[in-house]
Amino acid sequence: MADKVTIADVARAAGVSRQTVSNALNTPEVVREETRRRVLDVVEELGYRVNLAARQMRTGRSRLIAARIDPEQDGINGSVGDRFLHGLTETAAAEGYRVLLYTAKANGDDGEIAAFDDLLGAHEPDAFVLMATHHGDRRTSWLTERGVPFVTFGRPWSEPTAAGHPWVDVDGAAGTDAATRHLLSRGHRRIGFLGWPKGSGVGDDRREGWRRALAEVGLGTAGLFTETEDDVAPGEQAARRLLDADPEITALVCASDSLALGALHVARAPGPAWHAGGHPHRPVAVVGFDDTPVAKAIGLTSVRQPIGEVASSCLRQLAHQLDGGAGAPPEHLLLPPSLVVRASG
């Protein structure tokens, strides 16, 4: 049962004062080598561990990092959030932190800000990790104003990135660029893009990579792009629209696996719409984004984000903000995704 061992017990057993024990643990360089060893031996022997609540009272630091667990959306893209949380938790433990979960009751930035406020008032996490930054993100300004440390998975889309807060992101444009080049290398010439409505940083970024890749080989994009809500059924409809409108399209790059899954419903089975429209069935290659379990299950080629790396970079960035220490990680980090090629394209 090993009843709570306090610093006083260690001090007594080692024949030193409590402060010296504290120093031996937290500021070893200030304690004589021999004393330090003796103290650490006793610590080991008694199984002493600091009481973080007590420490927090003194230092104001909880060693808690708050992160949001979101509702699972369509369950397809949701897996990204879960991989991210897992990565955070592992790196946090290595850095001496723990991840505290929260959800936002109300929607949007304000709902999440209310959660910040609750958390800060009660458990006082030392920092936040935010996902899914967007234009005019009110969460980041709220935290900045209050001097609460945080990192985001996602660029600050509105501000000049140089001025903003620390962030880690994946280069979405590089991902769709790679996807498009891959399709080009397989002989496709008219390659469409299925994306989200303009105005979302992430969506625009992904579309840009596709545009750029086509432009570089002298191909235009007129009539090759359509936008829709990020879900399977809308994706299917949008794909049908695009393919019906332009019979020359032989491949589609999609902004998400959800959209790609919808597109595959059209691309793999000859839909009645085509026959009705007079277009015979033709094979249409499809590439998704995120490499979710669904992509793997159905053989969908997809752009994979290095989520584990993003998570550990976020956490190391935070740990450095909070604890300092050697080797400051970059304030801003843009990681390259990779293309996972499967049967669909």
Between residue 19 and residue 58, which ones bind DNA under the rule CB under 7 A? 19-20, 22-23, 25-26, 30-32, 34-36, 48, 50-51, 54-55, 57-58
Instruction: Tell which one of 43, 64, 311, 314 touches a second copy (CB under 8 A).
Output: 64
Between residue 225 and residue 244, which ones bind a second copy under the rule CB under 8 A? 232
2 binds DNA (CB under 7 A): no
Rounded least distance, CB 320 to DNA, Å: 18
- Sole window of 11-19, 78-86, 197-205, 268-276 interacting with DNA (rule: CB under 7 A): 11-19
Cα distances (Å, whole numbers) of residue 58 to 24, 157, 196, 321, 322 = 17, 38, 49, 20, 16
> Which of a second copy, DNA, none is residue 83 near (CB under 5 to 8 Å by kind)?
a second copy
**DSSP result, 294-306:** HHHHHT-EEEEP-
**Residue whose tokens read 């949007």:** 108
For residues 294 and 77, the answer to whether their CB atoms sit within 8 Å is no
**Residue 288: beta bridge partners?**
302
C-alpha closest to that of 180 among 216, 229, 154: 216
CA 92, 132, 320, 59 torsion-angle sign: negative
Cα distances (Å, whole numbers) of residue 126 to 59, 99, 123 = 11, 10, 9
- C-alpha R_g of the chain: 26
Instruction: Tell which one of 25, 46, 100, 322 touches a second copy (CB under 8 A).
Output: 100
The CA distance from 59 to 338, in Å, is: 43
Per-residue interface string for the shown chain with a second copy, residues 147-186, x marking contact by CB under 8 A: x---------------------------------------
> Which of DNA, a second copy, none is residue 121 near (CB under 5 to 8 Å by kind)?
a second copy
- Sole window of 85-93, 197-205, 269-277, 311-319 interacting with a second copy (rule: CB under 8 A): 85-93
111 binds a second copy (CB under 8 A): no
